Structure formats: C-alpha cells, structure tokens
Amino acid sequence: MTLRRALGRTGLDVSAVGMGTWRTFDVSGPEATAHAAALVAEAVASGTNFFDSSPMYGRAEQVLGDALAPRRDEVVVATKVWAKTAEEGRAQVERALAWYGGRVELYQIHNLVAWPEHLALLEGHLEAGAVGAIGATHWDPAAFGELERVMRTGRITAVQVPYNPLEREVEERILPLADELGLGVVVMRPFGEGGLTARTPAGFDPSRYRDFGVTTWAQALLTWVLSDPRCHCVIPATSRSGRPSENAAAGDPPFFGPHERDEIAALATAP
Ligand SMILES: NC(=O)c1ccc[n+]([C@@H]2O[C@H](COP(=O)([O-])OP(=O)(O)OC[C@H]3O[C@@H](n4cnc5c(N)ncnc54)[C@H](OP(=O)(O)O)[C@@H]3O)[C@@H](O)[C@H]2O)c1
C-alpha cells in the first residue's frame, strides 16, 4: 500500500490503513507478545505505518512499543493520554515516550478527559520536539459538541472518531469541521468492534467491487470509510495473522463512488 495520505495539518505522511491495539495487544507472556510482534511485522510489510494505542488499553501501549522497536523509524506512533489529573497524565506521557524511543508522532487526548491540563502538557512536549502533533479523540456522539470546541481552539491538528455504516454521526458536523480547519482524521471502529464483520452479508458479491481491489467484506468496509476524502487513516484492530495484510490492501485507490458506498451501507444495515 502506498503512503500517500498526509494527516491534515499535522503533515504526517501516514498509510491509509493503520492498526489499532485495543483488546488485541493487551496481552502478556512470551507467546502472546511474539504474536503481537508478528502482527506488527505483517502490517509493516504490507505498507501499514500508523499504529494507535492508549494507556486505557492495559498492556497494549508497552507491547506495541516492544513490537515496534526494531522498526521504529519506519512507523508513526499515535498514542494517548487518559488521566484525570495533570500529574497522572505527566507520568503516562513519560512512560510512553520511553516505550517509543523518546518520541510520539501523534499524541491524542483520550475521550477529552481533563483536556485543558493535558493540552498544556502536550504543547510543552511539542515545543521540545518529543511530540510531533496533538490530537483529540472521542467515541461518543454525545461528546461531539465538546470535541468541536476543542477543534476550534486551533491547538490540535487531528481528531480520532468512529465511522462505519452503523455509526455515521460524524458526517453531520465533525467531518465538515475537520475539513474546514484542515485537521487530520483518524477513523476508529471501522468494523463496529467486530459487529459488522461477524458475518458477511448474504448479498455481498465481491466480483462487483473487483475494480476497487476489494475481495472481502472487511475490505469493503475499510474502502467505504476511505471513500470519504475527509478521512485520512482508518485503524482496524485484529488478533489474527493474515488480517493485517488483508486490511492493508484496502488502502489502495480507487475508492468507492457514491453508488458503491450506498450499496455497502445498505448491505451493512440490512436486518
Ligand atoms: N479513542 C477511543 O475512544 C477508541 C475507542 C475504540 C477504539 N479505538 C481505537 O480504534 C481501534 C479499532 O477499533 P476497535 O478495535 O474497537 O474495533 P474494529 O477495528 O472496528 O473491530 C475489531 C474487530 O474486527 C475484527 N477484524 C479485524 N480485521 C478483520 C478482517 N479482515 N476480517 C474480519 N474481521 C476482522 C477483529 O477480530 P479478530 O481479532 O478476530 O481479527 C476484531 O474483533 C482500536 O483498536 C483502538 O486503537 C479508540
């Protein structure tokens, strides 16, 4: 997959398909961590260069750091601060910087928790060069009003939000505003935490989408997200070998037009 999508004003040149680590990288023991490293190696070999984590994901941040260590210069790390107090946030950032070789390309404020405190801390790291860009994330449409306010401060350059055929609230205000402000958009939960990929819809005929390089239902869902030009990078999580490359292959254009988007959305939302 070509690396062609700069993440908005952050200027980060990221692959269209990245990788999330919630649940899948919260593992321990030599076998499980070696498996996580193999997933990362497969993803990188397939062109994926963007990896997302958070202190909210248990051991995932550290497991990802270990897996990325041999190829740290080839990838973009997007992690988060998720803490009620400035002090706890400071400790989280110090730990993560140590795990990621002293720098994090995109530091995000998870669920907007204590965002004024963390924003000030991250701006200090930005100035010092340990952080490349600052973002904010939220999964809940009820918080999108607050996310909009943070976006309008001019102090962040990327957002991370959910977007899939069952969760389209970002189309109303977040994606238009991100576009207007030139912010990078990272899309979480492209498979609705696996609910959308639990079964392939009976009516899905991959041969209809061959010209888009789509051969599986999961690729159709990723291509659906990337067909919105306001979305720069989509970050599916997987625990299974073979899927990082399957997912990465969806990052190559051409992407869907309105007609194919409607077809995929109809299949995904059919009872
Ligand atoms: N900031 C936030 O509030 C927030 C919230 C949620 C998520 N996130 C981020 O976004 C990432 C992605 O979201 P998510 O993990 O919730 O859900 P997701 O990526 O929508 O779905 C993950 C599920 O999809 C399955 N899957 C992956 N590739 C597949 C494929 N090719 N074919 C079929 N099934 C496939 C996985 O199963 P297998 O493991 O069996 O492959 C897993 O159960 C997270 O890991 C995290 O980094 C952020």
Residues 6+ away with beta carbon under 8 Å from 13: 3, 4, 5, 6, 7
Reading across the β-sheet that carries 131-137, which strands appear in turn? 50-52, 76-81, 104-109, 131-137, 158-162, 184-188, 233-234
Ligand 1 atom with the shortest distance to the CA of 240: 41
Q: For residue 94, give the CATH number of its domain.
A: 3.20.20.100
Number of domains into which the chain is organized = 1
The 10s digit of each residue's pLDDT in 248-257 is 999 999 999 9
Q: Is residue 249 part of a domain?
A: no
Judge if the upstream peptide bond of residue 254 is cis by omega within 30 degrees of 0: yes
* pTM beyond 0.95, yes or no: yes
Q: Which domain holds residue 191?
A: 5-197+228-238
pLDDT tens-digit map of 149-170 = 999 999 999 999 999 999 999 9
- Helix H or strand E segment including 76: strand 76-81
Q: Is 98 a domain residue?
A: yes
Beta bridge partners of 263: none
Whether 101 and 71 have beta carbons less than 8 Å apart is answered as: no
**For residues 189 and 20, what is the distance between their CA atoms, to the nearest angstrom?**
9
The whole-number pLDDT of residue 3 equals 73
| pLDDT value for 59 | 98
The full length of the chain comes to: 271
Is 180 domain-assigned?
yes
How far, in Å, is the centroid of ligand 1 from the Cα of 185? 17
Query: For 165-221, how does the pLDDT look when each residue is reduced to its tens digit (9 = 90+)?
Result: 999 999 999 999 999 999 999 999 999 999 999 999 999 999 999 999 999 999 999
**CA 20–ligand 1 middle distance (angstroms):** 6
Ligand 1 binding pocket (C-beta < 6 A) is 20-22, 24, 52, 110-111, 137, 139, 160, 188-194, 197, 218, 235-240, 243, 246-247
